[in-house]
Amino acid sequence: MSELPHIRVQDLSYRYDPEATPALLNVNLDIPRGQFVAVLGHNGSGKSTLAKLLNGLFQPTSGSVLVSGMDTNDDDKIWDIRRTAGMVFQNPDNQLVATQVYDDVAFGLENIGVPTEEMPSRIEEALKLTGMSELKDRAPHLLSGGQKQRVAIAGILAMQPEALILDEATAMLDPQGRKEVLQTVLRLNREHGITVVWITHFMEEAAAAERVLVMDHGAVVMDGAPKEIFSQVDKLRSLKLDVPPMTGLAHLMIKKGIKIDPHVLTVDDLVREVKRLCPSCLKD
């Protein structure tokens, strides 16, 4: 028998107010264990609402969310769900509470009652996984934005989650900070099998995912591999979204009659296509 999805969303709807238009309406979604899923959508599409429902911060107006088989509607399971699916928010300053990085990572463990003797090994491992071991004695307010967000991720990792839900976790970071955080999470997914739900408005980040979901008006309107999703340039733009820069360039070339692969995502993809079309145009 096949393994149940790590996260299962069934007929999920959510209203912030009984009289308001639903923020989510009849969403159905299965996320296998170990998958890296990027979620895209314009402001108000429902992607951040979905993130909070996956973590049990919100409870469904109707329908259900199951995380490792636990129902977020079950009040007795909420803390287990939040340990299983750790949440990382947009502003790292809102998640840092201590005066040292090491103590900040310890904070979550204290909250969930981890025995004191277990804490050091968990903290050291989380700091190692996020590349923050050398800064464990540093004051969080002295760190860069990317480093702060990696500390926030370390605090979640110390609780040994099976999944990470990141709600626009790179939105407030500079390009280097965004790169650091994305590379950290990609490594955790690939090397440790952690399921990732990555909510973003940066197309190049979504291009690194295994699967892309596009939301609009509270519904999932596109679902597929990045190359499949981003090749539909006109549809994405009709949804007020853009595409990775190289995909956009390839789309322009196609419109000019150049027979290039529409599934280009990266600079390497484009270089490969140019070499194929004109072997003498580019030399190693």
Instruction: Indicate the average pLDDT of the chain.
Output: 91
Which of 1-15, 25-39, 67-81 has the weakest average pLDDT? 1-15
* pLDDT at residue 110, rounded to an integer: 85
Task: Return the pLDDT at 273.
Answer: 84
For strands 195-199 and 163-167, give the pairing.
Answer: parallel
Q: For 232-262, how does the pLDDT look when each residue is reduced to its tens digit (9 = 90+)?
A: 999 999 999 999 888 988 888 888 888 888 8
What strand order describes the sheet that includes 195-199? 85-88, 163-167, 195-199, 36-40, 211-216, 219-224
Per the CB < 8 A criterion, the answer to whether 149 and 181 are in contact is yes
- Quick one: pLDDT band at residue 281, thresholds 50, 70, 90? low
Asked whether residue 282 carries a pLDDT value surpassing 60, the answer given is no
Model confidence pTM above 0.85: yes
pLDDT band for 276, please (50, 70, 90 cuts). Answer: confident
Give the residue-averaged pLDDT of 77-95: 89
Q: What pLDDT band is residue 126 in, cutting at 50, 70 and 90?
A: very high
77 — pLDDT class (breaks 50, 70, 90) = very high
pLDDT band of residue 1 (cuts 50, 70, 90) is: very low
Helices 145-157 & 119-129 angle (0-180, nearest 10): 140
The pLDDT value recorded for residue 261 is: 87
**Amino acid at site 62:** S
List of domains in the chain? 7-243 (3.40.50.300), 244-284 (no CATH)
213's tokens: 């979901």
pLDDT above 90 (res 19): no
Per residue in 185-223, pLDDT (tens digit) is: 999 999 999 999 999 999 999 999 999 999 999 999 999
284 pLDDT band, cuts 50/70/90, is low
Average pLDDT over residues 1-15: 87
277 pLDDT exceeds 70?
yes
Using N-to-C axis directions, what is the helix angle for 101-111 and 145-157, rounded to 10°? 30
pLDDT of residue 66: 97
